[in-house]
């Protein structure tokens, strides 16, 4: 089984560094995509091409904005399932800003600032409290310093027909998320009617702070295709 890990905004493939060794030790062929974060279409295209390059069945795993990416990229023929980690799971015609508009804005949103080139950053002094309050100061500092900005347009780009309507899915909710409201995560998860929903007492960065539990959910999803 191939597993492709799809990062979200303000990060890259290294955000999966706690999950990768666990899945590798279980015998999976693991690849972490490096998306440009320039538009939803660009990121879907990069992920689809990586999935198409895999030999055999492939599981897509998306964190945060990466959930919107796998929602589009999951139509690739060899993709068998989708795992959402504290992630967006938009329906057709929805944008991320549209999803945000349904409830009070998350506290971390107050620390997102645009630059002169149309990209969004999280203010470094507030990165830990916004994105990863349950990581130690060193880990948070590295994430804040190495953050990869996302084009503001990504939050307005509308999703096409979602792959989660035709491919089996799994979802992990982060109950202490300051970037995506936990109630929004629960709503999106329940709407998908996934095979399983788990909730972790975690920040938005559950893939780092709860790597073992996240890897176990991915493993459970992957093993379901071996039956």
Q: What is the mean pLDDT of the chain?
A: 97
pLDDT digits (tens, 9 = 90+) for 161-217: 999 999 999 999 999 999 999 999 999 999 999 999 999 999 999 999 999 999 999
**Residues paired with 130 in a beta bridge:** none
Q: Which DSSP string corresponds to 82-150?
A: EEEES-----TT--HHHHHTTSPPPGGGGGEEE-TTSEEEE-GGGHHHHH-TTS-HHHHHHHHHT---E
pLDDT tens digit string along 111-123?
A: 999 999 999 999 9
Query: What's the rounded Cα separation, in Å, for the pair 84 and 194?
Result: 10
Mean pLDDT of 80-91: 98
| Nearest to 26, CA basis, from 169, 227, 221 | 221
Number of domains in the chain: 1
pLDDT value at residue 35? 98
Q: What's the token pair of residue 42?
A: 């660009």
Q: How many residues does the chain have?
A: 227
Rounded to an integer, what distance in angstroms lies between the CA atom of residue 58 and that of residue 167? 12
pLDDT at residue 227 tops 80: no
pLDDT tens digits along 127-151: 999 999 999 999 999 999 999 999 9
Distance CA 140, CA 127 (A): 7
What is the CATH classification number for the domain harbouring 53? Answer: 3.40.50.1820
Which two tokens mark 154?
């990504």
Residue 177 token pair = 């998320």
Q: What is the pTM of this model?
A: 0.97
Centre a 10 Å sphere on the Cβ of residue 103 and count the other Cβ atoms it contains: 12
Q: Let me know: does 132 contact 64? Beta carbons within 8 Å.
A: no
Q: What is the mean pLDDT of residues 53-59?
A: 96
Report DSSP state, residue 159: P
Residues of the domain holding 148:
2-226
């Amino acid at each position: 089984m191939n597993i492709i890990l799809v990062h979200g905004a303000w990060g890259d493939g290294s955000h999966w560094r706690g999950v990768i060794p666990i899945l590798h030790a279980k015998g999976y062929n693991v690849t972490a995509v490096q998306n440009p974060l320039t538009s939803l279409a660009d990121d879907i295209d990069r992920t689809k091409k990586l999935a198409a390059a895999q030999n055999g069945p492939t599981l897509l795993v998306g964190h945060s904005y990466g959930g919107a990416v796998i929602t589009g990229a999951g139509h690739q023929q060899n993709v068998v399932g989708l795992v959402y980690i504290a992630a967006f799971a938009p329906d057709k015609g929805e944008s991320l800003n549209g999803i945000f508009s349904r409830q009070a804005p998350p506290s971390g949103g107050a620390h997102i600032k645009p630059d002169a080139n149309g990209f969004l950053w999280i203010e470094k002094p507030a990165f830990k409290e916004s994105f990863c309050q349950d990581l130690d100061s060193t880990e948070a500092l590295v994430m804040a310093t190495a953050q990869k900005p996302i084009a503001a347009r990504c939050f307005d780009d509308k999703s096409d027909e979602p792959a989660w309507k035709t491919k089996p899915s799994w979802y992990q909710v982060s109950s202490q998320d300051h970037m995506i409201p936990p109630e929004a995560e629960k709503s999106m998860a329940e709407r998908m009617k996934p095979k399983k929903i788990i909730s972790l007492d975690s920040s938005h960065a559950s893939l780092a702070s709860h790597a073992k539990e996240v890897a176990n959910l991915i493993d459970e999803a992957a093993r379901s295709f071996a039956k």
